[in-house]
Amino acid sequence: MEPTQPATNPATEPRFPLAGVDVVLADLDGVVYTGRNAIDHAVDSLNRAAESARVGYITNNASRTAEAVAGQLSGFGLSVAADDVVTSPQAAVRLLATVVDPGALILVVGGEGLTTVVEAAGYRVTRSADDGPDGVIQGFSPEVGWKDLAEAAFALAADIPWVATNQDWTIPQERGIAPGNGTLVSAVHTAVGKLPLVAGKPEKAIFDAALERFSASKPLFIGDRLDTDIIGANKAGIPSVLVLSGIDKAKQVLAAPTDSRPDFILGDLRELHEEYPATIETKDPTGARVFEVRSARVKLHGNVVTVLDEGSSPVDLLRAGSAAVWASGLMIYGMVVDPKLYE
């Protein structure tokens, strides 16, 4: 058999994810912890990253204050102050200030993590639509119930601004995946027929707030989900890492549309400090494209993706497989993908 020939495109050079980075921005749920439990290797890896870069934390979770989040992270062994945490309520209040002047009365749907930030910005808080609020701000809290959503709907019958901290459909918990703020926002949307301004990921507002706070010139963002974390970082022009410790796994990575593809795919955060392997593309004698990451090899022929060699690392196999799928220019539902890539 003839040897494979190099493809037209040059091989990607190996690189280190943290090379030249001055600020590491990390999501929390699914990256640092799940519920009350720290994720394996996350704390040690982030402490090591802090030796060469500023480490900040971005969270769409609006249920707690930045001080409470910093306290939890410190309890895991991270060196964190409240100012190192950028929350979606903080970004939401910045957004609220563009449509409602401070001093106005705001109906709040959410917990202490939201009310304290709203009040600190100079707004007055109400829980009742009968008070005639000037705007509505909505964020996740486990205590939010039907009555809270109904008050938001009643208030929004008037033509007033509505800001949501985020629209995450799910939130990882110790017992599994639970409904997130997006489900609660959707309930109100269904009732009122309008959409909110959104501050949290995947919108730029929360990333802009973080870049400004940390004076970042070469940031790197770490997230666990494509539809909020990675697409948001891409919108903000920030290189991104997807770590496979939270929501999204191999199947979602393979199916990722162009705007939600990460720059790096890591199995866990230890790999932040390791050389990221090159993806080498060649062509076999039939003209099929072959993608190789270390010992993992995947072939793309037309719309068919086949594993040639699983290699020694599942994450390397996923890197090679995603390179093949993404290079096809086809939607995933129009392809035949080897189940070895996602089972």
What tens digit of pLDDT does each residue of 278-301 get? Answer: 999 999 999 999 999 999 999 999
Whether the Cβ atoms of residue 185 and residue 211 lie closer than 8 Å to each other: no
Question: In DSSP terms, which residues pair with 219 in a beta bridge?
Answer: 23
Q: Where in the chain is the domain with CATH 3.40.50.1000?
A: 23-60+202-273, 89-198
Whether the Cβ atoms of residue 28 and residue 243 lie closer than 8 Å to each other: no
Whether the Cβ atoms of residue 9 and residue 291 lie closer than 8 Å to each other: no
Other beta carbons within 10 Å of 301: 16
The conformational region for residue 342 under phi > 0 = left, psi -120 to 50 = alpha, else beta, is alpha
pLDDT for 126: 98
In sign, the C-alpha dihedral spanning 278, 284, 289, 290 is negative
According to CATH, the topology of domain 23-60+202-273 is: Rossmann fold (3.40.50)
Query: Would the pLDDT of 215 be above 50?
Result: yes
Query: Would the pLDDT of 7 be above 70?
Result: no
| Cα-Cα end-to-end distance for the chain | 31
Calpha distance 149→181 (Å, rounded): 11
| CATH code of domain 89-198 | 3.40.50.1000
Q: What value does the mean pLDDT take over residues 209-217?
A: 96
Whether the Cβ atoms of residue 315 and residue 267 lie closer than 8 Å to each other: yes
Calpha distance 338→343 (Å, rounded): 9
Query: What's the pLDDT tens digit per position in 125-184?
Result: 999 999 999 999 999 999 999 999 999 999 999 999 999 999 988 887 778 888 999 999
Query: What's the pLDDT tens digit per position in 218-262?
Result: 999 999 999 999 999 999 999 999 999 999 999 999 999 999 999
Structure tokens at 274: 């390791």
pLDDT for 4: 41
Query: What's the pLDDT tens digit per position in 17-50?
Result: 999 999 999 999 899 998 889 999 999 999 999 9
Calpha distance 56→49 (Å, rounded): 11
Query: Would the pLDDT of 103 be above 90?
Result: yes
Residues 6+ apart with CB under 8 A from 329: none
Q: Which of 107, 110, 127, 30 is nearest to 63 (CA)?
A: 110
Whether the Cβ atoms of residue 93 and residue 119 lie closer than 8 Å to each other: no
Calpha distance 247→245 (Å, rounded): 7
Question: 3-class secondary structure for the chain?
Answer: CCCCEECCCCCCCCECCCCCCCEEEEECECCCEECCEECCCHHHHHHHHCCCCEEEEEECCCCCCHHHHHHHHHHHCCCCCHHHEEEHHHHHHHHHCCCCCCCCEEEEECCHHHHHHHHHCCCEEECCHHHCCCEEEECCCCCCCHHHHHHHHHHCCCCCCEEECCCCCEEEECCEEEECHHHHHHHHHHHHCCCCEECCCCCHHHHHHHHHHHCCCCEEEEECCHHHHHHHHHHHCCCEEEECCCCCCHHHHHCCCHHHCCCEEECCHHHHHCCECCCEEEECCCCCEEEEECCEEEEEECCEEEEEECCCCHHHHHHHHHHHHHHHCCCHHHCEECHHHCC
Does the pTM surpass 0.85? The reply is yes
Residues 6+ apart with CB under 8 A from 54: 22, 23, 24, 214, 216
pLDDT for 12: 60
Query: What positions carry a catalytic annotation?
Result: 27, 29
